[in-house]
Amino acid sequence: MNIQLSDHFTYKKLFQFTLPSIIMMVFTSIYGVVDGFFVSNFAGKTAFAAVNLVMPFVMILGGVGFMIGTGGTALVSRVLGEGDKDRANRYFSMMVYGTLIIGLLLSVIGIAFMEPIAAFLGATEEMMGDCVLYGRLVIGFTAAFMLQNVFQSFLIAAEKPKLGLAATVAAGITNITLDALFVGVFRWGCAGAAVATGLSQCIGGILSLLYFIRPNKSLLRLTKTKLEKGPLLRAFGNGSSELMSNISSSVVSMLYNFQLLKYIGEDGVSAYGVLMYVQFIFIAIFIGYSIGSAPVISYHYGAGNHAELKNMLKKSVSFSVLAGILLTILAFLLAKPLAGIFVGYDKQLFDLTSHAFQLFSLSFLLAGFNIFASSFFTALNNGAVSAAISFLRTLVFQTSSVLILPFLLGVDGIWWAITVAEICACIISVIFLFARRRNYHYF
């Protein structure tokens, strides 16, 4: 069944349309986790800690791709809803070409400044070599990483979510296979993991690029275009919430690492790394749903279909609540088995990680709702509200929690910080939804 953006979405149809995006994001997270598994088990916990220390900076660079993808998709989908396909293709092409240029510039900057960045992040003398090596190799593929992130959104707007899934699966299989070969067999350590990740990103980004370069049957295709500052700035401004979320999350991760180095040491960074890898998988379900549903919301917003906006909001909140409950229970039950996969070779580290995960798991109850609320306003082309939710949720609430709670609860305060932040963010999200209801007529 061919599902179009203009359709009325029942629960079944919405599930079918967003499922490829959910699987795509989960698969992306899983093959990212594979890096951690192989580095931890074949290169040791120092190399594992080094990768985790550098990763927040790498994710900031990749977050620019999410900004362009989400903001650009919201703009292009709205224009499609208004019935102007030629203008939508011009805007789409401008976003893709801009991504390539920005990605190359960020690679050059990141590679040049990797050593002082690693020092700023708190790399110890033992970790510095692995930090710089891994960081420079991964950052060399930033343009491909950004393209992969951009096309994850645009393929949905083009009504080709299954193609996005296929590209992501191909990239994931490439990464897992090369990790096993480079790290597990050749024992190249951090360098092997970095190259495996970079080559897999090339698969995910370039395959999608080739699809749009050639004539295709989707809603979008690459055409001749020119720089139009207004639409470009609107897309960047609207998508800034996704960039803000990536930057804030990365800054918060750095702060977690600083606190953990202070209170526990290298083992704390390794334990937090395990939590982040598993969180990527769980949160990916919420992010995948938000990416998959956003073009539908933008389309109906552009078409002025208020009834369908109400329908999408109601069904999306229901999904977020149900998925949050199920994932919280699952995370609590799997805390020890998952910790054992990554750090089962070290009993002290295993005990620390499994305990931290059980406390951390409660954050999933509200995370899905908060992620959707931010994405919902991005889809409505209201980047200011979306950015406010993301900024408060990650940078303000998590930063405050991770700094203050350890004074009250000791090390456990660090693990409770994200749950406290999600509670505060939920309150803010509800306030914004009620405050803006008359502007968009979604209930």
Higher pLDDT, 113 or 26: 113
Q: Looking at per-residue confidence, does 297 or 258 come out higher? A: 297
Residue 32: per-residue pLDDT? 64
Return d(Cα 396, Cα 377) in angstroms, integer: 19
Close Cβ partners of 93 (under 8 Å, ≥ 6 residues apart): 222, 223, 224, 225
Q: What is the pLDDT of residue 1?
A: 54
CA 311 to chain centre: 26
* pLDDT of 45 strictly over 90: no
Q: What percent of the chain has pLDDT over 70?
A: 99
Q: In this structure, is the dihedral angle defined by the CA atoms of residues 165, 57, 368 and 326, taken in order, positive or negative? A: positive
Mean pLDDT of 1-9: 80
Paired tokens of 315: 């069904």
Taking Cα atoms as reference points, which of 432, 438, 435 lies closest to residue 375?
A: 432
pLDDT at 323: 95
pLDDT band with cut points at 50, 70 and 90 for residue 31:
low
Band of residue 140 on the pLDDT scale cut at 50, 70, 90: very high
Number of C-beta neighbours around residue 123 at 10 A: 22
Q: How far apart are CA 338 and CA 299, in angstroms?
A: 40
User: What gap in Å lies between CA 65 and CA 152, rounded to an integer?
Assistant: 10
Instruction: Give me the chain's average pLDDT, please.
Output: 87
Among 4-8, 106-110, 206-210, name the most confident range.
106-110
Rounded Cα gap, residues 406 and 394, in angstroms? 18
Task: Give yes or no for residue 211 having a pLDDT over 70.
Answer: yes
pLDDT at 309: 92
- Could you report the per-residue pLDDT of 347-391, keeping only the tens digit for each? 888 888 888 888 888 999 999 999 999 999 989 988 889 888 988
pLDDT, tens digit, for every residue of 295-337? 999 999 988 899 999 999 999 999 999 999 999 999 888 888 8
Determine the residue type at 320.
S
- pLDDT tens across 56-74, in order? 788 788 778 878 888 888 8
